[in-house]
Amino acid sequence: MTGKTHIYLTVNGETFDACVEPRMLAADFLRDELGLTGTHVGCEHGVCGTCTITLNGVSARSCLMLAVQLDGMDVQTVEGLGTMRKMHRIQEAFREHHALQCGFCTPGFLMTVHDILNTMPLRDDDEIRDALSGNICRCTGYEHIVKAVRTLVNERDGVQTP
């Protein structure tokens, strides 16, 4: 491929400028160039949601984007959510409810949940299930994920649970 393109972006609060091939996938850029391997690639055709990141706060599939489209963006990946020592509340809720098994789809779910908690009412479990239906988990059957999200929604809305 001829020529590289210069991009300038923020990832998890850190600024980067990089030269990338125009055809490089955003997911490959984050993983292979920046070493942020927490974003996983599951299908490369936009179905499984495993590679979900947020761009300017909105969830997006990094396997359906090119790295050049990240130019000027504020990108957040799972690494920016919380750390081993101080996990984000979403991560804690997933742990408390055993909402992950192999963990491969988990970063994508966490980024999706981060988005939907900000943007959607999620009034009942059916709405939670609909909101999560763009992410595939093959291990959990979703039951514990729905529980974790329900807990987070209740905390968000100040709903007391028994």
Partner 1 sequence: MTDATAYTRPKYVGQPVQRLEDPRLLTGRGRYTADIQLPRTVHLAFLRSNQAYARINKIDMEDARAVPGVIGIYAAADFGHIPDIEAPSKMENYRATACPVLARDLVRYVGEPVVAIVATSRYLAEDAAALIDIDYKPLDAAITARDALAENAPKLHPELPSNIILERVFATGDAPADIANAPHRVSGRFNLTRKTSVSTEPRAYLADYDAGKDELTLYDATNIPGIVRDELARLLNLDGNQIRVIAPDVGGSFGGKGSLYPEEVIVADLARRLDRPVKYVADRLEEITASSQAFGEEVEATLAFNADGRFLALEAEIIGDIGAYSIYPWTAALEPVQVASFLPGPYKTPAYRGRARGICTPKPPTGPYRGVGRPMAVFAMERLVDLAAAELGLCPVEIRRRNLAGADDFPHRIGSGLIWNRSGFQECLTAAEEAIDLPALQAEKAAGDKWIGVGFASYAELTGIGSRIAVAPGMPMNTGAETASVRIDATGAITAKFGISSHGQSLETTLAQIVAEELGVKPEDVRVVHGDTAASPNGTGTYASRSAVLGGGAAIKTTRALLKKVRRAAACLFDVDPDQVETGDGRIFVRGTNHSIDFKELARVVYADTTALPMDRRETLEAQETYDPFLGTTSSSTHVAVVEIDPETLAIKLRDFVVAEDCGKLINPLVVDGQVHGGVAQGVGAALLEELKFDETGQPITATLADYLVPTSAEMPPMHIRHVETELPDNPGGFRGMGEGGTIGATAAIANAIADAVSHLGLEINSLPITPNKLHALIAAGATQ
Whether 20 contacts 31, CB under 8 Å: no
Q: How far apart are CA 126 and CA 76, in angstroms?
A: 27
**Would you count residue 34 as binding partner 1 (CB under 8 A)?**
no
Q: Give the H/E segment covering residue 35.
A: none
Judged by CB, which is closer to partner 1: 70, or 94?
Answer: 94
Q: Which of 70, 88, 82, 66 is nearest to 11 (CA)?
A: 70
Q: How far apart are CA 95 and CA 91, in angstroms?
A: 6
Q: Which of 57, 119, 30, 81 is nearest to 94 (CA)?
A: 81
Chosen residue from 57, 72, 103, 121 binding partner 1 by CB under 8 A: 103
Q: How far is the CB of 138 from partner 1 (least distance, A)?
A: 5
**Would you count residue 123 as binding partner 1 (CB under 8 A)?**
no
Total residues in contact with partner 1, by rule CB under 8 A? 61
**Would you count residue 50 as binding partner 1 (CB under 8 A)?**
yes
Reported residue count of the chain is: 162
**Would you count residue 135 as binding partner 1 (CB under 8 A)?**
yes
Interface with partner 1 (CB under 8 A): 1, 21, 23-24, 31-32, 35-45, 47-48, 50, 77-79, 81-84, 87, 91, 94-96, 98, 100-107, 110, 125, 128-130, 132-146
